[in-house]
């Protein structure tokens, strides 16, 4: 902009010094070149100023700017351009020079109005003062062209004050503190003002054209403006549709976790029951235990972050289920009976838990089978809520048996051979525990761990479990995580938490080369060391699709060979005594 003003000032000085006293001035002249050089430099300067003052502009504001600019240009062309055009005659270069001034002024007006519309009619900072200066400049220049065309211009009159006044205003704007760069938005009635006023003005021009023939350029500008007004209406309609869709989505979405909220759950339940009243599915409510203490200890911001993590965790653990946050520290899982059922509720409970050195957040839950136990959405939610708080208040004495039964049934349904393998390992474990002199309560805990030591494989894809060949590194890494997953699943049932460390460490090695924690020696829980030996023996003596079963003496010899490296030597010795004593090791006798 400084360059533009300098060019204009240079042109004015040249005109005054060279042609000030002349009766006629040649067109074009060096003064015209300097005057006209003002416009492109100014256009570029205004664009750079706009870019430095506002952030990224939405499409609607761009259209508003173009509509406003075209409307002003059309009005100017209709009422000012005609007089100038009628007075323009002579050589081609002379005509082109005379027409360049009104065209450049029209473009300047259009640019100013368009940018004012682009900035959302903001009057903050330096931009409004600078825009006012250029507006005064354009008005003065246009009035000069009109008066010159009508032969009414008087030198050194009031009009001549316009150009220096405009430059003074622009200079004053340059001294103002610039406004902070802002991101503009479309909202309120202001978003309708520009297209509405501009559209009415251009329609009036088109109507006037039937009675008083306007210039072709005015007609083209007005028509272009009306086309953009139509495009603006279409854009507004599309934006309103998106806003409506977003509002509906937000109404059923929890803002913190981005899961569905209580309203979304109610709608989902009603839709399922209306679509297929006999379709079996499971509804489970969860309430976090220990969350208040976590919140009080670490603050509400950390508590919100924990809720977001747990919500994402349960959604990832059950991709076939719908997960909701009901409010506070309550969650809900909705899943088909065949896609998860009771096992899915335990997997969700494991996902909705997090432990640390100084905190433990777990959950209580209540499960309802729909429509078997509740025929409508309201009764299903009430029953699930009641069962959740019943579990939260008091644990049933046989909760361990019930939870274990559910998990064992899930293992059997997933792989009947795996279920039998775990039963056989549990029978061996119980006998070895008695041989080593463990108490009844300890024997029961290790036996439960043996039955459930492969429960983490519920989270392993069948393609990996049933793969006939060796696993690749990624598959092997996923397989090695099944002990951690198993620990999390059983931890979700309070009465089974004592077996969780045994399950986690069931694949550790005596020499420390096992997983997941690399424990060694007596740092490995005794129960896990017993399960490891019994699991290996049963695996070796059972026929697999890819190999024949080993004879018991050969399997015992392999255990002795690995004692002190893979297995606890003391456990291997106790196991040998059990086998050599010829004890009955059937699961039926152990259960009896």
The reported pLDDT for the residue numbered 588 is 35
337 in the same domain as 282: yes
CA distance 495 to 403: 8
Query: Which structure tokens are listed for 347?
Result: 């997997």
Q: Is residue 7 part of a domain?
A: yes
Q: Which residues contact 97 (CB under 8 A, 6 or more apart)?
A: 27, 28, 32, 36
Are 289 and 364 within one domain?
yes
Burial class (CB in 10 A: 0-12, 13-18, 19+), 127: buried
* Residue 441 CB coordination number (10 Å): 9
Same domain, 351 and 413: no
Cα 444 to Cα 99, 493, 556, 590, distances in angstroms: 101, 16, 25, 10
Domain contains 330: yes
Residues 6+ apart with CB under 8 A from 113: 65, 68, 69, 71, 72
Distances (CA, A) of 171 to 36, 42, 115, 166, 176: 20, 14, 19, 9, 9
**Do 208 and 81 share a domain, yes or no?**
yes
Contact by Cβ (8 Å): 109, 76: yes
DSSP 54-109: B-PPPHHHHHHHHHHHHHHHHHHIIIIIHHHHHT--SSHHHHHHHHHHHHHHHHHH
Asked if the bond preceding 546 is cis, omega within 30° of 0, the reply is: no
Angstrom distance (rounded) from CA 43 to CA 47 = 6
173 contacts 129 by C-beta, under 8 angstroms: yes
* 451 alpha-carbon distance from chain centroid: 41
Measure the CA–CA gap between 390 and 399, rounded to whole angstroms. Answer: 13
- Listed residue (114, 118, 100, 137) closest to 8, CA to CA: 137
Calpha distance 15→124 (Å, rounded): 37
Query: Has residue 310 been placed in a domain?
Result: yes
In a domain, 249, yes or no: no
pLDDT at 546: 63
Torsion angles phi and psi, residue 438, rounded to 5: -75, 155
Count structural domains, the chain.
Answer: 3
Count CB atoms within 10 A of the CB of residue 300: 9
The reported pLDDT for the residue numbered 585 is 38
Could you say which of 394, 429, 455 is where a domain stops? Answer: 394
Is residue 257 included in any domain, yes or no?
Answer: no
Same domain? For 195 and 313 the reply is no
CATH of the domain at 343: 3.30.70.270
CA-to-CA dists, residue 518 to 121, 504, 506, 524, angstroms: 67, 11, 11, 9
| 343 and 426 co-located in one domain | no
Task: Say if 248 falls within a structural domain.
Answer: no
Asked if the structure places residue 218 within a domain, the reply is yes
- Which tokens in the block code for residue 259? 């899961």
Q: Are residues 190 and 302 in the same domain?
A: no
Residue 480 has a CB neighbour count (10 Å cut-off) of 14
Domain boundary, last residue among 341, 370, 394: 394
pLDDT at residue 438, rounded to an integer? 92
Report the pLDDT value the prediction gives residue 191, as an integer from 0 to 100: 63
Indicate whether 187 and 98 sit together in one domain.
yes
325 and 212 share one domain: no
Q: 């200066």: which residue's tokens?
A: 133
Residue with tokens 């005509």: 95
347: containing domain: 262-394
Does 125 lie in the same domain as 273? no
Length of the chain: 592
Indicate if 297 and 233 belong to the same structural domain: no
Per-residue pLDDT of the chain (592 residues; tens, 9 = 90+): 778 778 888 887 887 787 766 666 677 788 888 888 887 887 787 777 766 666 566 677 667 777 777 777 777 667 766 555 555 555 667 666 766 776 777 677 667 666 666 565 555 556 677 777 777 877 787 777 677 766 777 777 788 888 888 888 877 876 666 655 555 555 555 567 778 888 888 888 888 877 777 777 777 888 888 898 888 888 888 878 888 887 787 888 999 999 999 999 999 998 988 888 888 899 999 999 889 888 888 899 999 999 999 999 999 988 889 999 998 899 999 998 655 566 788 888 889 998 877 788 888 899 898 888 887 888 889 889 888 888 876 544 455 566 676 777 777 776 766 777 887 898 899 889 989 999 888 998 999 899 888 888 877 777 787 777 788 888 888 888 889 988 888 887 767 788 999 999 999 999 999 999 999 999 999 999 999 999 999 999 987 766 788 999 999 999 999 999 999 999 999 999 988 875 443 333 333 3
Q: According to the model, what pLDDT value does residue 243 have? A: 80
Residues whose CB falls within 8 Å of the CB of residue 12, separated by 6 or more in sequence, listed in order: 31, 35, 163
Helices vs. strands in the chain: H and E counts, helices first: 25, 5
Angle between helices 440-452 and 416-435 (to 10 degrees): 160
Give the integer Cα–Cα distance in Å for 88 and 109: 22
Give the pairing of strands 359-370 and 354-356. Answer: antiparallel
Which of 185, 206, 240 corresponds to the end of one domain?
240
**The token pair that represents 181 in the structure block:** 């760069």
Residue pair 286/363 in contact by the 8 Å Cβ criterion: yes
Q: Are strands 281-289 and 330-336 parallel, antiparallel or unpaired?
A: antiparallel
CA 345/CA 141 separation, integer angstroms: 79
Whether 81 and 118 map to the same domain: the answer is yes
What is the C-alpha end-to-end distance of the chain, expressed in Å? 97
């Amino acid at each position: 902009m400084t360059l533009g003003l300098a060019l204009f000032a240079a042109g004015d000085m040249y005109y005054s010094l060279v042609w000030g006293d002349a009766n006629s001035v040649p067109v074009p002249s060096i003064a015209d070149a300097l005057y006209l050089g003002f416009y492109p430099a100014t256009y570029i300067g205004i664009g750079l100023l706009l870019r430095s003052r506002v952030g990224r502009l939405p499409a609607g504001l761009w259209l508003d700017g173009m509509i406003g600019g075209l409307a002003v240009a059309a009005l100017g062309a209709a009422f000012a351009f005609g007089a100038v055009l009628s007075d323009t005659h002579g050589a081609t270069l002379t005509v082109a020079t005379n027409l360049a001034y009104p065209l450049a002024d029209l473009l300047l007006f259009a640019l100013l109005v368009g940018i004012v519309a682009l900035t959302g009619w903001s009057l903050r900072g330096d931009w409004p003062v600078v825009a006012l200066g250029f507006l005064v400049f354009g008005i003065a220049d246009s009035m000069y062209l009109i008066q010159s065309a009508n032969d009414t211009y008087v030198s050194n009159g009031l009009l001549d004050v316009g150009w220096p006044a405009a430059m003074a205003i622009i200079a004053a704007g340059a001294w103002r503190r610039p406004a902070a760069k802002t991101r503009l938005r479309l909202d309120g009635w202001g978003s309708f003002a520009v297209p509405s006023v501009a559209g009415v003005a251009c329609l009036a021009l088109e109507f006037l054209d039937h009675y008083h023939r306007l210039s072709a350029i005015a007609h083209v500008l007005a028509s272009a403006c009306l086309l953009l007004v139509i495009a603006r209406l279409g854009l507004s309609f599309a934006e309103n549709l998106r806003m409506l869709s977003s509002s509906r989505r937000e109404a059923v979405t929890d803002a913190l976790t981005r899961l569905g909220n209580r309203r979304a759950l109610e709608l989902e339940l009603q839709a399922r029951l209306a679509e297929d009243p006999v379709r079996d599915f499971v509804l489970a409510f969860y309430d976090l235990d220990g969350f208040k203490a976590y919140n009080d200890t670490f603050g509400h911001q950390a508590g919100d972050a924990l809720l977001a993590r747990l919500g994402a965790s349960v959604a990832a653990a059950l991709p076939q289920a719908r997960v909701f946050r009901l409010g506070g520290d309550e969650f809900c899982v909705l899943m088909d009976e065949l896609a998860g059922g009771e096992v899915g509720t335990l997997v969700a409970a494991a996902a909705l838990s997090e432990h640390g050195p100084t905190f433990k957040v777990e959950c209580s839950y209540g499960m309802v089978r729909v429509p078997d136990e509740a025929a409508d959405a309201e009764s299903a939610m009430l029953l699930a809520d009641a069962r959740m708080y019943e579990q939260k208040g008091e644990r049933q004495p046989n909760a361990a048996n019930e939870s274990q039964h559910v998990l064992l049934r899930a293992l059997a349904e997933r792989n009947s051979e795996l279920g039998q393998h775990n039963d056989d390992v549990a029978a061996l474990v119980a006998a070895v525990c008695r041989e080593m002199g463990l108490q009844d309560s300890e024997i029961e805990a290790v036996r439960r761990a043996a039955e459930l030591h492969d429960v983490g494989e519920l989270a392993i894809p069948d393609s990996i479990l049933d793969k006939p060949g060796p696993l690749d590194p990624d598959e092997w890494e996923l397989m090695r995580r099944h002990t951690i997953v198993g620990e999390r699943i059983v931890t979700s049932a309070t009465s089974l938490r004592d077996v969780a460390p045994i399950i986690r460490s069931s694949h550790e090695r005596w020499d420390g080369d096992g997983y997941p924690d690399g424990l060694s020696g007596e740092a490995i829980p005794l129960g896990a060391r017993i399960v490891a030996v019994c699991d290996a023996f049963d695996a070796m003596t059972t026929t697999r699709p890819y190999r024949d079963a080993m004879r018991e003496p050969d399997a015992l010899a392999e255990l002795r060979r690995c004692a002190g490296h893979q297995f606890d030597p003391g456990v291997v010795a106790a196991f040998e005594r059990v086998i050599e004593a010829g004890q009955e090791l059937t699961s039926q006798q152990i259960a009896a």
